[in-house]
Structure 1
Amino acid sequence: MEILKILNNNVIVSHNELNQEIVVMGRGLAFQKKVGGTIDPSNIEKTFVLETHGMSEKLAKLLRDTSEKYLNISAKILEYAQSHLPYKLDEYLYVALTDHISFAISRHNQGIHLKNPMLWEIRKYYKQEFQIALMALEIIEKETAIALGEDEAASIALHLVNSQLSGENMAAAVQITEMVNTILNIVKYHFKMELDEKSINYERFLTHLRFFAIRFARKEKLVETVDEFFSEQIKLKYPEANTCTEKIANYLEHQFNWSLTKDEEIYLTVHIHRVTNRHKMK
């Protein structure tokens, strides 16, 4: 296998049989080797494919100051996460997660334990990602003998959520969580009720809000597909839910300068009616 780039003594960049750029890891893999030389495939311990142009350069910069053992830990976590999530993970997670784990371990060793102010929301709204993040803590502990707390799990979960936003904008993942949390609170206060968080309707509503917020972060707008008549019929049929939607629209307009389309208003109104009406009936 030809060496295209040496990231450090144990990590190199090469090509596989499909001519895809790959990162391969192994103890002493590049020791006394040069670019253009070859390595023995039997010494390879870990391989992963890079589809994004320039990703190997980012990894190279990271590994100048970070041990590749954290890259190996990240690869194990992402392999587990990808097998349990319905969406494709962004490759930038190899960089972001490796850097995060390295910094978290460093802080732990210095006795610095940061609280994640969004732990409660992340655990509640991103249950699948949070469960995967808890498994990530187990992987980290197995590899380093260091037990990190749930605050770190929340941060790892946010990295997974952020992967849907294509990479490096961690602030967007925080903004999405805050937006979802505020919209749910608007619904609760408007109807003066607690929602049944174990119900299918709540899960559907939460999923809708998450993708709704992701579209905002990506600056994506739905193409209008409904006419004025249908929109008015929904308002007449679900007046209370529509009033709640108007409050949400007002919040989004003032807080984010984002105007809802008629489609988005209808979807929100129908979901709000469903999640609140079923609760009333129960």
Structure 2
Amino acid sequence: MEKEIRVKQALNNNVVIAKGPLLEEVVLIGKGIGFNRKKGDTISVSEAEKTFVLTDKIEIEQYQTLIKHQDPALIEFLNDIIFYIEAQMDRPLNEHIHIALTDHLSFAIKRADSKIQFSNPFLFEIKSLYPKEYKVAQNIVKQIKEELGVEFPEGETGFIALHIHSAITDRKIRDLNRHHELIALMVELIEENLNITINKDDVNYNRLLQHLHRAIDRVNQDNLLGKEEYLKNVLKTTYPICYNLAWKLVKVMQKQLNKPISESEVLYLTIHLRRLTNKI
């Protein structure tokens, strides 16, 4: 990156958009970096605590609008939150988190102040599937309470964890939500077909969630498992109810993901379903 570039716009005292001859527009973040800066001023990249590039013009406009309509002190605090996430996860974050999480948290704070609460239907699954992200999100919720005096409901912790996972995997929030909706649908089918109410504290339920999560990832990555003919014959004969239900679940996955699924996924699902209940 060029060492010196020119200010295009100071969004507030701590955020500047700049551009160099060889660069796309780059966002510079740092305490006081935008103070008294005017368009055309030369600025050193080394002055910034964090730099990131938004190449999409729509995203640039979204970020500019977001910053302009928020208290600069809040934006500074939320930038610190994003630095904290990057340090805790110890890996680069997708730069879109500067828009997505800042936008989400600013509205979440307003909702909390107005006593408006949103339920999170995937809270348990998020806790189970993304434990590290959830722990970091819990610490962020504590920081928000200490710094701003705002107390979030537990569901909000799950939403923050989802944004963190999105940023470290480069997966969009809407795709993650579709993923969780599919898992929720399959869990509902399991309860209906086996006539059980699943105990979410059961370790076998946690294992089932992990398996469904990995199975969906394998399908999305076109990573098909090899055939297991012997295991297939044993499971089909020994646990026919679980085996048939596993096939039903795989067909649901195929329809939702619109991709072929390895027959071996049926076998591993059968094993997880057998562990889940002693009624069969």
Counterpart of 2:211? Answer: 208
Cα deviation code 1:59-107 (max 9, x no counterpart) = 3232122234444333333333344448753221110111111112223
1:163 aligns with 2:160: no
Q: Which runs of 5+ in 2 are unaligned?
A: none
Aligned counterparts, 1:103-252, within 5 A: 103-109=107-113, 111-118=114-121, 120-122=123-125, 124-126=127-129, 128=131, 129-163=133-167, 166=170, 169-191=172-194, 194=198, 197=201, 199=203, 203-214=206-217, 220-224=220-224, 226=226, 230-239=227-236, 240=239, 241-252=242-253
| Superposition CA RMSD, Å | 3.8
**What percent identity do the matched residue pairs reach?**
17
Q: Which runs of 5+ in 1 are unaligned?
A: none
Is the 8 Å Cα contact of residues 196 and 279 (structure 1) preserved in structure 2? no
Is the 8 Å Cα contact of residues 90 and 164 (structure 1) preserved in structure 2? yes
TM-score (norm 1): 0.72
Q: Which amino acid aligns with 1:183?
A: M
Seen in structure 2, the aligned counterparts of structure 1 residues 92 and 114 have a Cα distance that, compared at 3 Å, is same
CA distance in 2, matches of 1:132, 1:72: 19
* Deviation of 1:274 (Å): 4.8
Seen in structure 2, the aligned counterparts of structure 1 residues 101 and 189 have a Cα distance that, compared at 3 Å, is same
Counterpart of 1:101? Answer: 105
Seen in structure 2, the aligned counterparts of structure 1 residues 268 and 106 have a Cα distance that, compared at 3 Å, is same
Is the 8 Å Cα contact of residues 5 and 18 (structure 2) preserved in structure 1? yes
Counterpart of 1:48? Answer: 50
TM-score (norm 2): 0.73
Seen in structure 2, the aligned counterparts of structure 1 residues 184 and 124 have a Cα distance that, compared at 3 Å, is farther
CA distance in 2, matches of 1:141, 1:124: 21
Q: Which amino acid aligns with 2:234?
A: K
Q: Secondary structure at the match of 1:35?
A: coil
CA distance in 1, matches of 2:10, 2:201: 47
Q: What is the number of residues matched between the two proteins?
A: 264
- Identify the range of structure 1 (141-150 vs 27-36) with the bigger mean alpha-carbon deviation: 27-36
Seen in structure 2, the aligned counterparts of structure 1 residues 47 and 180 have a Cα distance that, compared at 3 Å, is same
CA distance in 1, matches of 2:260, 2:246: 10
Is the 8 Å Cα contact of residues 97 and 159 (structure 1) preserved in structure 2? yes
Aligned counterparts, 1:58-97, within 5 A: 58-85=62-89, 89-97=93-101
Q: Which amino acid aligns with 2:12?
A: N
